[in-house]
Structure 1
Amino acid sequence: MTQTDPSAFPPVTVSRLAHRRFVGRSSRGGEVAIGDASFPDTFTPGELLKVALAACAGFTAESAVTRRLGDDAAMTIEVGGDKDPAQDRYPRFAERIELDLSSLDPVARERLITVVTRSIEQACTVARTVKAGATIDMRVVDPRD
């Protein structure tokens, strides 16, 4: 059996609780309920992927937005995309960032839209990973080994 580089594993875990119910945990104590769509109080894995895309966009755009709109600027990011059941994957996502741009003149408005778009394209790790098609090295192990 080959050893796997421990740095390849981020400090997140997902543990099974019951049929189609899991809990995800970060090393900092955060938790998220995961389940299939029949459980109203959970996120599906596909929804978590969309949340990761939206959160990454928000983190990446935040400094440009607050610099131009103020520290209290509201920002909502929506990510949608339907699963293709035949391919069992999400072939595309649609991302929408809602900002109140009414305080900006037309030139400043277009400049902010350009800066936000460019910064997400260049620095959002999650979106860049999805677009590039990351490889996944997966192993099944017995924890007693």
Structure 2
Amino acid sequence: MAEQTPASAPTELWVERTGTRLYTGRSSRGAEVRIGSESVEGVFTPGELLKIALAACSGMSSDFPLSRRLGDDYDATIRVSGAADRENELYPHLEEVLELDLSELDAEAQGRLVALVERSIDKVCTVGRTLKAGTNITLKVETD
């Protein structure tokens, strides 16, 4: 998900093998994440990263409408789940739950805000839009 502005180059992303089924994901902006098998403590699996990317994208896509209505210090948690179909090696269904305290709003205002948040996520969450639409993936193997 490299973002590009006219004055900047796209962020480069890569993973480096650090052990048996262990990798470190890196970005040209200096970020790192440890990736490995479910049996290894302190790492994310690739599937968990996919789910986290979806939840983070939904959170970021809803941040402006929520902060405008609830203030900059509102609390939100987005939980995401979905079991893998191991026979087909895919996630047939992912479920997100956005947890918010809207108790200061009346029922009508809550409904309007929830609808606005849903529209915002549907419109600008690149990860969610990509998963819903599907995408073409290519792999090129370079050898020495």
What's the TM-score once normalised by structure 1's chain length?
A: 0.90
**Alpha-carbon RMSD:** 1.1
Q: State the alpha-carbon separation in 2 of the partners of residues 134 and 10 from structure 1.
A: 20
Deviation at 1:118, TM superposition (A): 0.9
Work out whether residues 11 and 29 of structure 2, in 8 Å CA contact, stay in contact via their aligned partners in 1.
no
Query: What runs of 5+ residues in structure 1 fail to find an aligned partner?
Result: 1-8
What is the CA deviation profile of residues 84-124 of structure 1, one whole-angstrom value per residue up to 9, with x for unaligned ones? 01111111100000111011111110011000111111110
Q: State the alpha-carbon separation in 2 of the partners of residues 99 and 64 from structure 1.
A: 13
What is the CA deviation profile of residues 60-95 of structure 1, one whole-angstrom value per residue up to 9, with x for unaligned ones? 000011011110001111110000011111111000
Structure 1 partner of 2:91: 90
Query: What runs of 5+ residues in structure 2 fail to find an aligned partner?
Result: 1-9
SS at match of 2:78: strand
Q: State the alpha-carbon separation in 2 of the partners of residues 76 and 70 from structure 1.
A: 16
Moved over 6 A (4+): none
- Calculate percent identity across the aligned residue pairs: 49
Structure 2 partner of 1:21: 22
SS at match of 1:71: coil
Work out whether residues 17 and 24 of structure 2, in 8 Å CA contact, stay in contact via their aligned partners in 1.
yes
Work out whether residues 82 and 94 of structure 2, in 8 Å CA contact, stay in contact via their aligned partners in 1.
yes
